[in-house]
Amino acid sequence: MKLSPSNHPKRQKWEKPFDFLFACAGYFVGLGNIWRFPYLCFENGGGAFLIPYLLSVAFMGIPFIMLETSFGQCCQSGIMKAWDKVPLFKGVAYAGVVCVFHSNVFYIVILSWVSKYIVASFSSPLPWSVCGNPWNSENCVEMNVRMNQTNLTEHQLNATKGVSAAEEFWTKEVLGMSSGIDQVGSIRTDLLVNILLLWIGVYFATFKGVKWL
CA dihedral (16, 28, 118, 163) in degrees, to 10, reads: -170
Residue 177, pLDDT score: 86
Known binding residues:
26, 29, 33
pLDDT at 143 over 80: no
Residue 144, pLDDT score: 64
pLDDT at 194 over 70: yes
| Residue 108 binned pLDDT confidence (cut-offs 50, 70, 90) | very high
Sorted by where each begins, the domain ranges of the chain are 15-76, 85-122+187-213, 123-177
Residue 198, pLDDT score: 93
pLDDT at 51 over 50: yes
Residue 24, pLDDT score: 77
Q: Distance between terminal CA atoms of the chain?
A: 32
Contacting residues for 61 by C-beta, under 8 A, at least 6 apart: 28
Cα–Cα distance for residue pair 118/189, rounded to 1 Å: 17
Known binding residues for Na(+):
26, 29, 33
| Residue 82 binned pLDDT confidence (cut-offs 50, 70, 90) | confident
| Residue 6 binned pLDDT confidence (cut-offs 50, 70, 90) | very low
Cα–Cα distance for residue pair 72/75, rounded to 1 Å: 5
Count the alpha carbons within 13 Å of 8 in the hemisphere toward its beta carbon.
9
- How does the average pLDDT of the chain come out, rounded? 81
Cα–Cα distance for residue pair 77/11, rounded to 1 Å: 9
